Structure 1
Amino acid sequence: MPAPRVSVETKIFELEIVLEEVQPPVRRRVQVPGEVSLAMLHEVVQSAMGWTNSHLHEFDVAGRRFGISDPDWPDQDLVDEAKAELSQLAKQGDRFGYLYDFGDNWAHRITVEKVAAAEPGVRYPRCIAGQGACPPEDVGGPWGYDEFQAALADPEHPDHDEHLEWAGGPFDPHRFDLDEADGSLEWLAWRPLNPVS
């Protein structure tokens, strides 16, 4: 299936994604076409933040829940995220929630900071700013992440060596690489608006 195309009518939503209840702060600023489904926005959040898409998730937009229905456990209150378009649900200044991993409960706050016209020749979605490293998967949510960081920071901590090995080596919670975060979204690229000649 060919990638969608950005058109002159496409509005670009600039979103700030903040992982709540963690220190140091973890946030990303992304730009996405307003026509993206929440299913695609889920992929944007996963990629830009640095998650591995290994767990369930759902959006909460104005009290309505959106996600992927589990055929074994149907949920009549859950709206199919693939059929929900961002521009139909939110406008500039709106905030909504995204919850990832129902065990660790990683709560994200997404704010529509601005809505603007698409720039010719620009690839969307894209990450334009950020701060902080994504916590490791399955670390135990915000509380477990605090414990994880404390153990790594103290070589005398009884769990230091185990956590260091589990993390695959030193872990810098302040690390953020814009090129890496933006590059992680290339696989979702829409065909850009043609430059004016």
Structure 2
Amino acid sequence: MKAYILKLTFEDISPPIWRRVILPTGATFNRLHEMIQNVTNFQSRYIDEPYHYFDIEVGGLFITNNPLIHEEYGKKLNGLTLKRPSHLKIDKYLEANVQFLYKYDSGDDWRIIVDLEEIVEDYYFGFPTVLAGEGTAPPEDVGGPAGYDHFLNVYHDPSHPDYFATHEWADRQYYKPFDIDAINESLKYMKYQKTEWDRIDHENYKVKSDKYRGPKQVEQVEFPFFKT
């Protein structure tokens, strides 16, 4: 099936934090948001607070899941057409613009550049997969890039008086090192297309390999519809 290879790069963070992800076409902007949350350490799906929303400006649209903005502004915001992300697919906007900015959490003001690197026709899984990446993503509510820089200084300094408290707080925020296998395990539940099992290399009713996911990233999934 047709799919996009995207590079997601945090702005204003050094050394760089980035993820390369492949996802099938047909994703809504809500699905894109869900995918970004899964490949970082953000936790918006577990938080019910007024700051943990996202917005994207692309193709003359202002796309956001923030209900307060929709209530206040209606159909227009700063000359842009206001849209909800739940039924709006990314395809034509991504292909036409190649790059846009995903902004998350109005308090911390995280900015992630979404770059379309390649369009492929031979990805067969109905959910996204992380192909590569570098850097541990920041935890939720750390205070944006400046707060994250301070957090790292304390987190890696055992002599700092707040060292242990910072580690305890980080654990509560699910701050974890980049783990491609664990992330891809969670992304399997983001399925929104039909996996094309007949296009994947099988052996004894189980997935053997795939060009993009590779043997290490493919769960040994059985195919009961092949059995007699």
Identity of counterpart residues, as a percentage?
29
| Structure 1: unaligned runs, 5 residues or longer | 1-9
Count of residue pairs brought into register by the alignment: 185
The yes-or-no answer on 1:155 pairing with 2:158 is yes
- Distance in 2 (CA, whole Å) between partners of 1:196 and 1:99 is 36
User: Match for residue 4 of structure 1?
Assistant: none
- Distance in 2 (CA, whole Å) between partners of 1:19 and 1:133 is 11
- Distance in 1 (CA, whole Å) between partners of 2:115 and 2:167 is 34
Counterpart amino acid of 2:117?
A: E
> After alignment, is 96-105 or 175-184 more displaced?
175-184
Counterpart amino acid of 1:82?
A: S
How has the CA–CA distance of structure 1 residues 125 and 191 changed in structure 2, closer, same or farther, with 3 Å as cutoff?
same
Per-residue deviation, residues 61-88 of structure 1 (Å, max 9, x unmatched): 2453211251543443321212321111
User: Match for residue 98 of structure 1?
Assistant: 102
User: Match for residue 181 of structure 1?
Assistant: 183
User: Match for residue 126 of structure 1?
Assistant: 129
The ranges of structure 1 where at least 4 consecutive aligned residues each deviate by more than 6 angstroms after the TM superposition are none
Structure number with greater Rg is: 2
- Distance in 1 (CA, whole Å) between partners of 2:150 and 2:94 is 36
Counterpart amino acid of 2:23?
A: V
- Distance in 2 (CA, whole Å) between partners of 1:73 and 1:185 is 34
The Cα RMSD (Å) is 2.5
> After alignment, is 178-187 or 94-103 more displaced?
178-187
The yes-or-no answer on 1:47 pairing with 2:50 is no
Structure 2 residue matching 1:164: 3-state secondary structure: helix
Counterpart amino acid of 1:73?
A: E
How has the CA–CA distance of structure 1 residues 159 and 182 changed in structure 2, closer, same or farther, with 3 Å as cutoff?
same
User: Match for residue 65 of structure 2?
Assistant: 68
**Structure 1 position 137, deviation (Å):** 0.7
- Distance in 2 (CA, whole Å) between partners of 1:113 and 1:92 is 13
| Residue pair 1:118, 1:193 contacting (<8 A) in 2 also | no
> After alignment, is 54-63 or 139-148 more displaced?
54-63
**Structure 1 position 184, deviation (Å):** 1.8
Greater helix percent: which structure?
A: 2
Q: What TM-score, normalized by structure 1, do the two folds share?
A: 0.83
User: Match for residue 141 of structure 1?
Assistant: 144
Q: 2:26 aligns with which of 31, 35, 40?
A: 35
Counterpart amino acid of 1:60?
A: E
| Structure 2: unaligned runs, 5 residues or longer | 201-228
Q: What TM-score, normalized by structure 2, do the two folds share?
A: 0.72
How has the CA–CA distance of structure 1 residues 70 and 172 changed in structure 2, closer, same or farther, with 3 Å as cutoff?
closer
